[in-house]
Amino acid sequence: MKVKILILAVATLLFVLSGCDASDSSPASFTRTEFALGTFVTVRIDGTSGKDANQALDGTFARLSEIELTASTKNHGSELSYVNQNAYERGITVSEELFFLLESGLFYSALTDGAFDITLGSVVELWGIGTDNARVPAPDELAEALENSGFENLLLSAENRTVRFLKEGLKIDLGALAKGYAADEMKRVLLENGVTSAVLNLGGDIITIGDKNGEDWLIGLADPLAPGESCAILRVSGLAVVTSGNYERYFMHEGARYHHVFDSQTGFPAESGVVSSTIITDSAMIADALSTAFFVMGIERAVEFAVSIPDTDYVLIDGGMNFMCSENINLEIIK
């Protein structure tokens, strides 16, 4: 199972970069890849204002390590893991960074009416998707995990930066937010280091800086039916492009696919009809939260919801490979 997931992650990574390379006639770029937040993270710098690109790469990956220590649930020594073990009944004071992530997570959980919900940690843990222990839980286990979820059970106090859980079994999972936040922060560090043209790929969460030799960056959207290939090409400059897909992490059981994005109403992998949901906007963190939310909402609800969110574009794909897109995007469907 582990090997299969790694191969899928590599496949996704490669096709996105080859999408960017499709119009490549630029001089040498600087590229570095590391494994963090459970995925491969690649930064490719194509232009700086004369500053050292390697120094910019050092700085941006150092920032990524800091965020991992704050927000990862996979790292048992992270600040978030400490909160998950200790925030029931007594409030825990947390770092400014974690508080910002929890506040943002709670905001988008409420805004999307729980389609995106950072308190699904117990449900995520129970299914174990992406681990060696992935399995379909028994109904009573699932009922208990759902009972221990719900963003109304997460209390934040901005005054003294405290976090408190109202349920003993509640667990926060920032898996649908932290990669996007890391992308935004890594981009900020690159900009501070004089980078003028770059593309960052955090396991399929893409963020760009500037353009590429005066042309838009070409971002390949994974084909949900053949994730190593692109089914469409997006053209963007300076924006983030984040996708949630049912092909990213999953396991098969008795012929059925169980993927990693959960419906907070049922505790099961969301079956809304959407198999791939992409958000295009300035902030990768917001794109990350909304791509998950749109995936869970399904096309009708997501399209209606999108009207209330300014400066945000989307591409939704259903199981029949039908595309539903917002008006202002530059998208070429190639399959």
Work out how close the CB of 316 gets to Mg ion at its nearest, in angstroms, rounded to a whole number. 14
Is 296 one of the binding residues for ligand AMP (CB under 6 A)?
yes
CB-based contact 312:306 (threshold 8 Å): yes
Partner whose footprint covers residue 87, from ligand AMP, Mg ion, none (CB < 5 to 8 Å by kind)? none
d(CA 83, CA 249): 26
Residue spans of alpha helices (H) in the chain? 2-21, 53-71, 79-86, 96-111, 121-127, 139-147, 178-192, 284-297, 299-306
d(CA 238, CA 78): 31
First and final C-alpha spacing in the chain: 29
- Which residue shows structure tokens 């009416």? 113
Q: Which of 176, 199, 241, 317 binds ligand AMP (CB under 6 A)?
A: 176
Is 124 one of the binding residues for ligand AMP (CB under 6 A)?
yes
Positions that interact with Mg ion (CB under 5 A): 176, 244, 288, 291-292
Partner whose footprint covers residue 262, from ligand AMP, Mg ion, none (CB < 5 to 8 Å by kind)? ligand AMP
Partner whose footprint covers residue 260, from Mg ion, ligand AMP, none (CB < 5 to 8 Å by kind)? ligand AMP
CB contact set of 56 (below 8 Å; sequence gap of 6+): 45, 48, 189, 190, 193, 194, 195
- Which residue shows structure tokens 């709670």? 106
Partner whose footprint covers residue 315, from ligand AMP, Mg ion, none (CB < 5 to 8 Å by kind)? none
d(CA 110, CA 264): 12
Is 149 one of the binding residues for ligand AMP (CB under 6 A)?
no
Q: Which of 173, 184, 223, 313 binds ligand AMP (CB under 6 A)?
A: 173
Work out how close the CB of 124 gets to ligand AMP at its nearest, in angstroms, rounded to a whole number. 5
Is 117 one of the binding residues for ligand AMP (CB under 6 A)?
yes
Query: Which of 7-15, 29-37, 116-124, 324-332 is the region at the interface with ligand AMP (rule: CB under 6 A)?
Result: 116-124
CB nearer ligand AMP, residue 179 or residue 212: 179
C-alpha to C-alpha distances, 183 to 60, 200, 232, 282, 290, nearest whole angstrom:
9, 7, 22, 11, 15
CB nearer ligand AMP, residue 51 or residue 76: 76
Q: Which of 13, 41, 120, 299 binds ligand AMP (CB under 6 A)?
A: 120
Q: Which two tokens stand for residue 93?
A: 């004071």
Answer left, alpha or beta for residue 298, where phi above 0 means left and psi between -120 and 50 means alpha.
Answer: left
CB nearer ligand AMP, residue 149 or residue 230: 149
Please give the residue ranges that form the binding site for ligand AMP (CB under 6 A): 116-118, 120, 124, 173, 175-176, 244, 248, 260-262, 264, 288, 291-292, 296
